[in-house]
Amino acid sequence: MTKVTNSSKRDFWKSSLQFILQWETKKAIAQKISFLTAIALMFSSLLPLPALADYGDVLPLPQPPFKGKIGTTYKESQPDFPKPIKAPAKAPNVLLVLLDDVGFGQTSAFGGLIETPNLDRLAARGLRYNQFHTTALCSPTRAALLTGRNHHSVSTGVITELASGFPGYTAILPRSAATIAEVLRSNGYNTAAFGKWHNTPDYETSAVGPFDRWPTSLGFDYFYGFLGGDTNQWSPNLVENTQHIQKPLDDPNYHLTPDLADHAIKWIRTQQSIAPDKPFFTYLATGATHAPHHAPKEWIEKYKGKFDQGWDKLRADIFERQLKLGIIPADTKLTPRPAEIPAWDSLSSTEQKVYAHQFEVFAGFLSHTDAEVGRVIEAIDQLGELDNTLVFFIAGDNGASAEGGLTGSVNEFKVFNGVEESPQEVLAALGDLGSPKTFNHFHAAWAWAVDSPFQWTKQIASHFGGTRNGLVVAWGDRIKDKGAIRSQFHHVIDIAPTILEAAGITEPEVVNGAKQQPIEGTSLVYSFDDSAVASKHKTQYFEMFGNRAIYDQGWVAAARHGRLPWERFSKTTFEQDNWELYNVAQDFSESQDLAKDNPQKLAELQNLFLKEAKKYKVLPLDDRTIQRFDINTRPSITNGRNSFSYYTSVVGIPEGSAPNTKNRSFSITADLDVAKAGAEGVLVTQGGRFAGWSFFLQDGKPTYAYNFLNSDRTIIQSAEPVAIGKSKVRFDFAYDGGGLGAGGTGKLFINDKQVAEGRIEKTVGFRIGLDETFDVGQDTGSAVVDSYQVPFKFTGNLEQVKLDLL
């Protein structure tokens, strides 16, 4: 018998009523009533009119009516407490793990040479999906994952830092697309998120919010992690719920990933101790393995010398392992190296030494991450809940990242600002890779190698190297075919509907008063028990920075746009793009372009892409990258303001909500009251070790330090200290003009008397950072200069700091 849902009941009665109301008005009311009564009697046993409280498609569930009795006094009355909301019977716990910037062939579970034993063990008790796809970039994948809708449908066409004012690109998650966390919480789950969020507009991430798009307003009872796109693993920009906090300052070995695992374990244990009958939803999204590639030294040393063969041989070895493991079909072809990437044998021995070590560092980072995720899984097992937990382990939110360019990088913020690093700079920092002294990334060729057997990398949504990621699903005895591989075509939007089906929860039509956009994903549950069943996800578009593709029932049309992931600007127009055609039902790796052989099929798919692009708010296509980092192109509480005053210690102000001192003149004035000689500490600062500036007292002397991308530091310091008592110190910067990132002259004053002057030759033109913040009265994160240690709180009385943009 067909299952009757609340939605089908309501649809029946709605259609019946609409039919009746459409009758000609000349019909007698009595006839209408008779007809409705007859219909009700006929179908009442099958489709009884649901009570309002039964509507699982309206969240939060309406409070049920009082069913007790009210008398004159309590003696004649009968109480009736509203029953607490309970999850459906046998609804499983859910653990959703998402790693960052991991390629399809990077983990040992999917044929890689980097050891991920915990992912391997999970795969042995579950299923590996080898045709699972993401969006090719961070924020978009996360928005699609949490909502079950395509990323443009929920206004996240690109990362939040590049948002624009077009409907598919605002980075403002609409209320009409509730997260899976909100749906689960409203259905009796406890929910928590740990790690990288990256789905709040950066201009809304300060201490004053608004908090509408922070995790705790989007369905999570608890959040511990960071809001931006990446963070320093040794000195992260941490947030707990809606409070910016500092890492433990008494732990010299602090690293973010173990901290996230510790908090996740503590929360799960607490939840199970207090409410063991209530299922939990835990979202663990590590900052690893996004750059910076920070890892404990002992994990890096495990891979010493293991990649000296280079990226060409590594890719071939991964391919052979993938064939042996059955991760890819036996007839798969390994796609060739792009002309833009050099052959390993063309490099000098010094270059090979540098680049091999870059990948050793990354390998240690990934293995370390796997170990920490393994601790969370083990903690759930120790509670006896692992068999009752639906686990999704997604190895990457996009393909491996080629954003390190053709030398790798020791400071990723140079990439964001279009500043090239020389091989000499990279070589000089070789021994510091992975440590707090670098914000490092590997050579782009490693990303291509570990995306085996596919073409290209992260950002390039036109090809599977950018969008194909390994997925492991485990669910106790509910997965019968343990250790097997599933090859149905799926996408990250399919995870949310899978959770709903597994939990027995109806997709809501209204959440918190907002009518919901339909979930656009397809549940994976149908594939759990049948490896041969045809994929139910028939069509899927892909688009990122103008790179675009369309999948439809075994065929793919793809157009790679001109800009490479490490380049600043696109070199071509959309009209110049070359479209390719692949029959991926027979050609797993997209190795044979059939565009010339089948122009009719290509034209059909090109038209389908345009149709899907219009439907899901992909248009207009936009290939700009570095230009969109300009915070002035987006809303901000600082827009239109040229004067800012701070009356107390304020920390954690993100760049999008801070005064924008880039590419202009400005003046900073601090009113101080010093009780004794030698006062010191930060007055105001922005950024940290890898880019930024700081205005502070050292030994009582006003000092201004400018850090140009960790390459050049300029220190301007007064020769005389401030006097005991009240004083006014000021720093004026006169910008040269003539373009972005120019230099200027800085002058220091004590009580309007000039006490120092200095020349700053170059400034940061586009972005100071993604994780470092604007702080008053102390410095959080990392220090701009090594002459002080964070937080370096000001020891006097800081009465006011005023910053004027000139």
Q: Kindly report the average pLDDT of the chain as a whole number.
A: 92
Domain ranges of the chain: 1-52, 104-537, 637-805
Report pLDDT digits (tens) over 71-118: 999 999 999 999 899 999 999 999 999 999 999 999 999 999 999 999
| Cβ atoms 703, 717 nearer than 8 A | yes
Task: Give the pLDDT score at 50.
Answer: 38
pLDDT at 11: 53
- CA geometry: angle at 141 spanning 601 and 442, to 5°? 100
Q: What CATH code would you report for 104-537?
A: 3.40.720.10
Q: What pLDDT does 56 receive?
A: 65
Q: What is the mean pLDDT of residues 456-462?
A: 98
- Over residues 399-454, the pLDDT tens digits come to 999 999 999 999 988 887 878 888 888 899 999 999 999 999 999 999 999 999 99
pLDDT given at position 421: 86
If you write DSSP's letter for every residue of 699-710 in order, what string do you get? TTEEEEEEEETT
On whether the CB atoms of residues 411 and 438 are closer than 8 A, the answer is yes
Scan for tokens 């490479």, then name that residue.
564
The three-point CA angle 753-756-762 to 5° equals 130
| Cβ atoms 508, 178 nearer than 8 A | yes
pLDDT digits (tens, 9 = 90+) for 470-485: 999 999 999 999 999 9
Quote the radius of gyration of the chain (alpha carbons, Å): 29
Nearest to 281 by CA among 118, 452, 94, 550: 94
Q: Can you give the pTM of this predicted structure?
A: 0.91
The answer to whether 457 and 447 are in contact (CB under 8 A) is yes
Going by C-beta distance under 8 Å and a sequence separation of 6 or more, which residues neighbour residue 370?
107, 115, 116, 117, 118, 119
Residue 341's alpha-carbon distances to 54, 443, 448, 547, 725, in angstroms, are 59, 10, 9, 19, 62
Q: Which fold would CATH assign to domain 637-805?
A: Jelly Rolls (2.60.120)
Q: What is the pLDDT of residues 513-525, one digit of tens each?
A: 999 999 999 999 9
344: which 2 tokens?
A: 């390993």
Q: Is the predicted pLDDT of residue 42 greater than 50, yes or no?
A: no
Does pLDDT of 20 surpass 60?
no
Q: What distances in angstroms separate CA 600 from CA 594, 597, 607, 613, one per listed residue?
A: 11, 9, 11, 20
Cis geometry, peptide bond prior to residue 60 (ω within 30 degrees of 0) = yes
